[in-house]
Amino acid sequence: MILTYDSSSWTYTSGDGPKYPIGHSINLAGQIGTFFLAVFGIFYCMRENKARAAGKRDHRLEGLTEEEAVNLGYRHPNFRYMT
């Protein structure tokens, strides 16, 4: 037997039917929160890309060997985020 967690049983209770204002409110709040987090992430990536293009992250390469610079990954100044 596989047990699964079903959040709808906690948010859409039979006592709230048939309009289920609590369940709909919780889902709407989650969707709004997700939207704002996504918009924040997009603007953060755009700002970070501009800073990298302006050379404001070049200090991360100071004192590093070539191998260490390659291993910086997403922190390397030449790395760009996709938006």
pLDDT of residue 14: 85
**What are the DSSP E strand ranges found in 1-83?**
none
Across the chain, what does the average pLDDT equal?
Answer: 91
Which residues are within 8 A (CB) of 61 and not within 5 positions of it... i.e. 6 or more apart?
69, 72, 76, 77
pLDDT of residue 70: 94
pLDDT of residue 9: 72
- Give the residue extent of every domain in the chain: 18-75
CB 77 within 8 A of CB 52: yes
Mark the ranges of the chain whose per-residue pLDDT is less than 50. Answer: none
